[in-house]
Each structure stands twice: as C-alpha cells, then as structure tokens.
Amino acid sequence: MTSSTRTASSTPTAPRVAPGPGGAAPAAGRRRPIAWAWLPAHALAWVYAAMLTVPLYYFLVSAFKTNDEIFSDPLGLPSSLSLDKFSTALHGARLELAVANSALVTFSALVLTLCLAVPAAFAIARSRSRWAAVTERVFGLGFLVPTFAALLPTFLMSAYSGLFHTRLFIVLLLPATAMPLSVIILTQFMRTIPPEMEEAARIDGATTFGVLRHVYAPMAMPGIATVLLLNFLNFWNEYLYSLIIIGPDQAQRTIQVALPTLRSTAGTDYGVLTAGTVLTLVPVWIAYTLLQRRMQQALVSGAVKL
Amino acid sequence: MSVVATAPSRPRAGAGQDRVRQDRTGRPRATGTLLALPALVWYLLFTLGPLLAMVWISALKWPGMLQPTSFAGLDNFRYVLSDPLFWDAARNTGVQLLVALPLMVLPAYMLGYYVSRRPRGHHILRYLLFVPGLISAPTKAMLFYAVLSPDGVVNGALKSLGLGGLAHVWLADSATALASIIAIDVWSGIGFTAVLFAARLGAVPEEIGEAASLDGAGHWRRMWRIHFPVIRDYVGVVTMLQFLWTLFGSAQLVLLLTQGGPGSASTTLSFLVYQKAFIQADLGYSQAVGVLLFAVGLVGMLAIRRALRQNY
C-alpha cells in the first residue's frame, strides 16, 4: 500500500513519461508480451456480455413463437414474424391501457418534479444564507431515507387522503422520491452560471421569476435533461408503490403492474408474456439508444452524487 | 414537519441575507430563497412523515387494516425477535448480502478496469453493460421466470449438454430458490456497477499507471495495488449503494418470483416487511421489522464506509 502511494505521489515529477502518439492508447498495445495475458480478461468480459445478451435475445425471438416452439428450440429463430402475440398482449390483456397509464403517470410526475426542483435549485444555487445551506444538506442526506422502508405508511397516507386506488397519488409521490437527486444535480449546474448574467438581466428590469425563466433555466438545460432522463427511467420502471397504491384495476394500473399478470398458473403463454415484456422495454430502449452517452452519464451521476 | 425544518434557520436566514446584501448589488433576495420551500416541504412530507409513522406503527398492536389499534410498547419487537420466521429471514438476508456483494463488486471492479483501458470493442461492451440498469424489476422477473422455468433456457441447455440430471424447478425448489434470486441480482448488478467503476477509473490520471508499468508492474498488480487504493473511497460508495439496494430492494424480485417460498426458503427481511403488511395484515409486526431493517441499513452503511475509507 505504502509503495503504491509513493508511486502515485511521485508521478507529477516524472513528466518524461509522455503519452504515446495515440494519447490515451492503452498500455496493453505498447507492451507486446502483455497482449496474450489479456486473453482471460477479454474472454471473461465477453462471456459476461453474452450472458446479458442471450436472455434478451431469447425474449425477442420468443415473442414470435408458440410455447411448443419455445420449449423445443429456445434459441432458434422464429419461423414467422407474425405480430399476433403482440396484439394479444396489447388487446387481450389490455396492455395498451397500461402503457397509456404509465405514460400519463411518468409524464405528469416529470412535469411536477421539474416545477418543484428547478425553483429549489435556483434558490439554493444563488443564495448564501444559512437556511439555503441547511436545505441543501437535507437533500444531500436524502439517500439515507430508503423509500421502500416506508411502503406501509405511504399506503396508509393514500388511504387517509382519499387518494387510494388513484394514479394521482403516485403522481404526487414520485416527485418527492426524486427530489434529493434532482435538486442536487440542478444546483451543481446552476452554480456554474456567473452572477453577472443575472445582474445584466436585472438592469433590463427582470424580476426574480424572469431571471429564473430567461437566464437560469436555459443555461441549466443539460442539467434539466439529465434530471429528466434519470427520472424518466425511475418513474417508468417504478413497481412496488404502483402495485400497492394504484392496484390491479385494468383502467388505472401501470405497465409494470400489468406485466406480471401475463403469467398464469393454468399455463403461461410465453409468447404473449415475452411480447408484453418487449413492449415495456421499447420506450426505454429507444431513449437509451438515442441518448446513450447522456443517459449513462445521468445514471452514473445519479448513483454517485448521493 | 416543515416547521421543524424552517424554524431554527429563520433568524439566521435574515442574517445571511444582510451579508448577501453587502456582498452584491443590494437587490432583495428573500423571494428567491423561498422558492426552495415547496420542494423541501414536498420531500419531507412524503419521506420523513412516513418514516416517523413507521416507528409509531411499530409500537401499535394493529391486527388488520380495518381493525382497532391499541398501544403495544415494545411487544411487537419482543414478538418479532422470538419468531423463528424472522430469524429465517435474517439468515437469508445475511446469506444474500455476504454472497451477492463480493460477487458483484469485485468482478465489477475488474470489468470496469478492463473497460476503462479501452480495449477493442469497449464501446459495445459499455452499451451492453448498461442494459441491466435500464430494466425494471418486473421485466427482470419475467425474464428469469421464463429463463428458469422448467422448460426454460437453463434446463434446456443442461439437457443438451447431457446434464439433464442437474435440471431443476429452480424457483420452486427450496435448495435453489434463494440462490436463484441472488444470481439474478448478481447478473444485473455486475454490469451496472462496472460502468460506475469504468467512469471513475477513466478519471484517474494516465501517468499513475504509466509510472507503475515502467517499474515493471503488470495489469493485475496495477489494478489492485495502484488504482484500487486511488479510488478506494469510491469503491466504498458503490459497495454501500449495492448494500442498500440489495437489503431494501430484494422484496420486489422475491414477491414476483418466489413469494418467499417454498416455506420460508427465500423470505428476506424486506419481503417479510411486505408480507406481514399486505398479505398477513399484521401491521405492527411488519413495521417493527421495518424499523429493525432500517437500523441494519444505517449500521451496515456506516460500517462499509468506514472499512473502505480513503487511507492516505
């Protein structure tokens, strides 16, 4: 341990170790003898990648097969590309309602999250008062409160407030769970905005709200996008609270609650089950593929800013 | 609740504003600071409120949602601690944490190091490693419900390898139910954690590894002796997060795949909280376990942070 520390601290005084022509080129490429030593690493990494891919591939092909085909040849390509299983999942199990409900809940909760978090971050980032620091601290400790722990009290809260079995309660609840991270990420973005920008706007007669709307919000757009992506994933994927509070009613339930009902003890139609699962993944997968870098960065910061 | 949060800071807020007024151009800022209030109230209402209610309910005798309640003091805790089911769940959670955490964090660290060296195909790897972080608990559960079903891929693969004797009803066999839940957590945990490590390792200055390689250190030594100490603190944060997710989050997969069974073979503490509240309607018991779980989470979190504190 001590020797490595010494190595680390001695590096700034060793500038002759200039990076090669490739800049960040891996050391492995430079030292030939090491290349074969990397073989186990290559192998293990790609074996794990295969373990991630195979179940998803199995799901995708199963959505086009009958149970018999799935059981006899799980990984074979489907014989037809008929969308029957998808339409059974959508119309038979009424998943189209569930998708609409999930979209409605996710969208409304996202709007509410921004309406609460953007002004809060604006206030905390600009203020130097003690009370703003305390508020930031409270949000910073947010990860100490695991939302799951309070499942039953939250359920009772919905019952006493008369919002049991409604989507509205979930729309009100989800932004609260998202608040600590959203406020902290947005505050960090807003701190980078120079105060001169605000002063210039003030001279032009802008109100506090005007400063927020025309100076801070536009400049914090990358932060807002990060918060939206992160919470889109969390809200769309939320399961336990939706199950307990919205319940199984077909007209109100979200897609995550509807999905497990595609199983049946009398014999699951795996084709329909996998088709339904693929449907829930489509929005997330599209968002991920289009915005991969930003989404990775959002989730990484989500896990780390805590 | 909001009163508690704002009352002590009021007088100081005024003082702070005076200071700000001297610092800057003299514009009023009180309205600006108040904008943080709705978010704070909202947050405390839905998190701190239920948490306090949990402690209160744990001291009640409450045998069902519509039943009358009475004060029970510590009776629930006495009953919980003498209940064999609770100890089964505690043992399962202990096994889950002791097996899943090292199996997740150590390979994830190595994989993250590998990806951060930018080998050929690392873009594709990064894309794939992230996938488990995107899918919800029900999706994951349905995926493995199909994969682990009696006619699923795992049994099919075993049969085609001539190992049909090893085929199991994985989720309904008390010997494999908990192991299956753990395996699913590890399967999805490694990828996501590896991306976190790769991001952090990518920010470690190149020169640190370069200097060590001049000294003749191979990648294995560099990975553990050089980079690991540098990001030790971060390893602590990631381990802590996985600890909390495993401890509190296991209820979902258990509920969706095994319902704690067969018997209590896969009942974890967080599922026990759910089961007692929503299936067996013993609300006091449920919340007493909830309070204990919360305490375990807090102690474990501090212990992990202390064990993996930056030590230089």
Query: Is B125 part of any domain?
Result: yes
User: What six digits make up the tokens of A111?
Assistant: 């709007």
B7 has pLDDT over 80: no
Give the structural domain span for B166.
Answer: 78-307
User: Which pLDDT belongs to residue A303?
Assistant: 60
Residues in B touching A158 (Cβ below 8 Å): none
User: What six digits make up the tokens of B269?
Assistant: 């503490």
Nearest to A172 by CA among A185, A181, A161: A161
CA distance B261 to B263: 5
In chain B, the N- to C-terminal Cα span, in Å, equals: 41
Q: Which A-chain residues 79-98 have CB contacts (< 8 A) with chain B?
A: none
Give yes or no for A286 touching B (CB within 8 A): no
Give yes or no for A210 touching B (CB within 8 A): no
Would the CB atoms of B241 and A28 count as touching at under 8 Å?
no
CA distance A199 to A211: 9
Query: Is B189 part of any domain?
Result: yes
Would the CB atoms of A131 and B33 count as touching at under 8 Å?
yes
Between A5, A153, A259, which is nearest B53 by CB? A153
Do B274 and B129 sit in the same domain of this protein? yes
Please, are residues A297 and B235 in contact by the beta-carbon 8 Å criterion?
no
Q: Work out how many domains chain B is built from and give that number.
A: 2
Do B32 and B174 sit in the same domain of this protein? no
Give the relative orientation of helices B177-202 and A39-62 as an angle to the nearest 10 degrees.
120
Query: Is B68 part of any domain?
Result: no
Q: Which range among A109-113, A193-197, B237-241, B297-301 has the greatest average pLDDT?
A: A109-113
- The stretches of B35-171 forming alpha helices (DSSP H) are 37-57, 75-81, 84-116, 122-129, 131-134, 137-147, 153-160
Cα nearest neighbour of B272 on chain A = A149
Mutate to test the interface with B, among A152, A243, A262 (most CBs of B within 10 A): A152
Between A55, A117, A157, which is nearest B39 by CB? A117
Q: Compute φ and ψ for A39, nearest 5 degrees.
A: -55, -50
Between B111, B136, B277, which is nearest A256 by CB? B136
Query: Is B63 part of any domain?
Result: no
CATH code of the domain in which B242 resides: 1.10.3720.10
Would the CB atoms of B207 and A17 count as touching at under 8 Å?
yes
Cα nearest neighbour of B198 on chain A = A300
Q: What is the distance in angstroms between the Cα of A225 and the nearest Cα belonging to chain B?
A: 17
DSSP label at residue B172: G
Do B82 and B49 sit in the same domain of this protein? no
Q: Which residues pair with A256 in a beta bridge?
A: none
Residues in B touching A11 (Cβ below 8 Å): 205, 207-208, 210-211
User: Which pLDDT belongs to residue A235?
Assistant: 93
Mutate to test the interface with B, among A61, A69, A99, A131 (most CBs of B within 10 A): A131
Query: Is B62 part of any domain?
Result: no
Q: What is the distance in angstroms between the Cα of A34 and the nearest Cα belonging to chain B?
A: 8
Do B43 and B90 sit in the same domain of this protein? no
Would the CB atoms of B283 and A56 count as touching at under 8 Å?
no
Would the CB atoms of B237 and A28 count as touching at under 8 Å?
no
Q: Give, for all 306 residues of chain A, the pLDDT tens digit.
A: 333 333 333 333 333 333 333 333 444 444 444 567 778 888 899 999 998 988 888 888 888 888 888 887 777 888 888 888 888 888 877 888 899 999 999 999 999 999 999 999 999 988 888 888 888 888 887 766 666 778 888 888 888 888 888 899 999 999 998 898 899 889 888 888 888 888 888 888 888 888 888 888 888 888 898 889 889 988 999 999 999 899 888 888 999 999 898 887 777 888 888 888 888 888 888 888 887 777 777 767 666 554
Query: Is B70 part of any domain?
Result: no
The residue extents of the domains of chain A are 94-304
pLDDT-derived band at B310 (thresholds 50, 70, 90) equals: confident
CA distance B50 to B72: 19
Query: Is B298 part of any domain?
Result: yes
Please, are residues B33 and A131 in contact by the beta-carbon 8 Å criterion?
yes
Cα nearest neighbour of B148 on chain A = A55
Q: Residue B192's Cα: distance from chain center in Å? A: 12
Query: Is B241 part of any domain?
Result: yes
Is the alpha carbon torsion for B79, B84, B89, B92 positive or negative? positive
Q: Which range among A96-105, B16-25, B147-156 has the greatest average pLDDT?
A: A96-105
Q: Looking at residues B132-142, what average pLDDT do you find?
A: 90
- The stretches of A75-220 forming alpha helices (DSSP H) are 84-87, 95-126, 130-140, 151-160, 167-191, 195-203, 208-211, 217-219
ipTM of the shown complex:
0.82
Do B210 and B176 sit in the same domain of this protein? yes
Please, are residues B272 and B299 in contact by the beta-carbon 8 Å criterion?
no
Do B248 and B213 sit in the same domain of this protein? yes
Q: Looking at residues B87-106, what average pLDDT do you find?
A: 95
User: What six digits make up the tokens of A21?
Assistant: 């022509």
CATH fold of the domain at A94-304: MetI-like fold (1.10.3720)
- Where is pLDDT greater, at B309 or B98? B98
User: Which pLDDT belongs to residue B154?
Assistant: 85
Mutate to test the interface with A, among B4, B18, B22, B42 (most CBs of A within 10 A): B42
